[in-house]
Amino acid sequence: MTQIERVTDDIYVFTSELYAQVTAGVINTRLGAILIDTLPYPSEALEMKDFVESQLSSRVRYVINTHYHADHVYGTHIFAGAQVISHELCRELLSTTGVESLAVAKAESSELASVKLVLPQITFEGGSFRLRLAGKTIVLNHSPGHSKDVISVLVEGDQVLFASDTVMPVPFFPDGDIKQLMKSLKGIHAQSGDITNLVQGHGPVILRGEVASYIERQMTYLKTVDKAVRQVLKRKYSKKALEKTDLASVDIDRAVLGGLAEELHWGNLETLYNRLKRYVKPYPSRTG
């Protein structure tokens, strides 16, 4: 089941009601539709396909994979005949890690039995890639940090930005890098005045007036997490001391993303602790 929201005349956002409010987008043109991600379950991708064909009397020409994570790409095989576009790193990750995790996922969920991985036919390396279709220009920008292959997608003119998982209610970097994520968020913040709708990889669409402050809160969250972990390491406290940095202390509602907030937040703290413990020097001991 998905929820459908129309954000401009020809741009729609789909939100999964089955898993973590993952989003996907449809940009319709008179020469066909461009999809941005394809939701976690084939049944949801089929809903998108039906919508494009019956409600918009269109067909899907292109599918953009914003990154290789399962919840964004498992519906891609439903759109046979469409050209799939991603960053080159996304293609690489799908063909390695992606293949292994699909085997595990299939063993866990019968709903995924029919899923086949599709390797993107069109990839780009480096900074950005432009796609033009029937007068619409879509700009794909490399936006690493959540994972190394993430791209954001800007619909020029409409100024709708699909930020993928660079922006989500709990910023999340265990499969990526906190510094890169901060840099990517800064990039989005710099253009926030020109964005009419910011579509997060998970959760609600952020409207024009709120984009800048929303991104600022995300950057504050990352700084707080980084500082908290460094303090614990400097004082040689155990990992358990991180529990003081709970969701309330970082101003995140525990109900967001269907209750996943706690898990994501703890994942961030623990990952950063494990990564930094070799580098952060403890304060000199008072007795020594």
Point out which span in 31-39, 63-71, 88-96, 103-111 binds Zn ion (CB under 5 A).
63-71
Applying CB under 5 A, among 49, 61, 69, 148 the residue interacting with Zn ion is 69
Half-sphere exposure of residue 104, counting CA atoms within 13 Å on the CB side? 6
User: How many other CB atoms are found less than 10 A from the CB of residue 288?
Assistant: 4
User: Sheet harboring 151-155: ordered strands across?
Assistant: 128-133, 136-142, 151-155, 160-164, 197-200, 206-207
Smaller CB separation from Zn ion, 28 or 184: 184
Smaller CB separation from Zn ion, 69 or 265: 69
Q: Could you give the residue ranges of the DSSP H alpha helices within the chain?
A: 42-50, 70-73, 88-93, 99-108, 178-190, 211-234, 256-259, 261-276
Structure tokens at 250: 């970082």
Point out which span in 53-61, 62-70, 185-193, 270-278 binds Zn ion (CB under 5 A).
62-70
Provide the mask over 11-50, with x wherever binding to Zn ion is found by CB under 5 A and - wherever it is not: ----------------------------------------
Residue type, position 64, single letter = I
DSSP designation for 203: S
Smaller CB separation from Zn ion, 69 or 136: 69
Point out which span in 66-74, 123-131, 223-231, 267-275 binds Zn ion (CB under 5 A).
66-74
Rounded least distance, CB 136 to Zn ion, Å: 26
In sequence order, what are the beta bridge partners of 171? Answer: none
Rounded least distance, CB 95 to Zn ion, Å: 17
Binding to Zn ion in span 120-179, by CB under 5 A: 165
Rounded least distance, CB 73 to Zn ion, Å: 10
Rounded least distance, CB 67 to Zn ion, Å: 6
Smaller CB separation from Zn ion, 96 or 213: 96
Point out which span in 22-30, 68-76, 105-113, 182-190 binds Zn ion (CB under 5 A).
68-76
Going from the C-alpha of 76 to that of each of 36, 54, 73, 288, the distances in angstroms are: 10, 19, 5, 60
Question: Is there a contact between 66 and 37 (Cβ–Cβ < 8 Å)?
Answer: yes
Rounded least distance, CB 100 to Zn ion, Å: 16
Smaller CB separation from Zn ion, 44 or 165: 165
Distance CA 277, CA 288 (A): 21
Handedness of CA 76, 201, 102, 94 (dihedral sign): positive
Q: Which residue has the tokens 């390695």?
A: 96
Rounded least distance, CB 39 to Zn ion, Å: 13
Smaller CB separation from Zn ion, 167 or 212: 167
144 backbone dihedrals φ, ψ, rounded to 5°: -70, 165
Rounded least distance, CB 150 to Zn ion, Å: 7
Rounded least distance, CB 244 to Zn ion, Å: 27
The site for Zn ion (CB under 5 A) is made up of: 69, 165
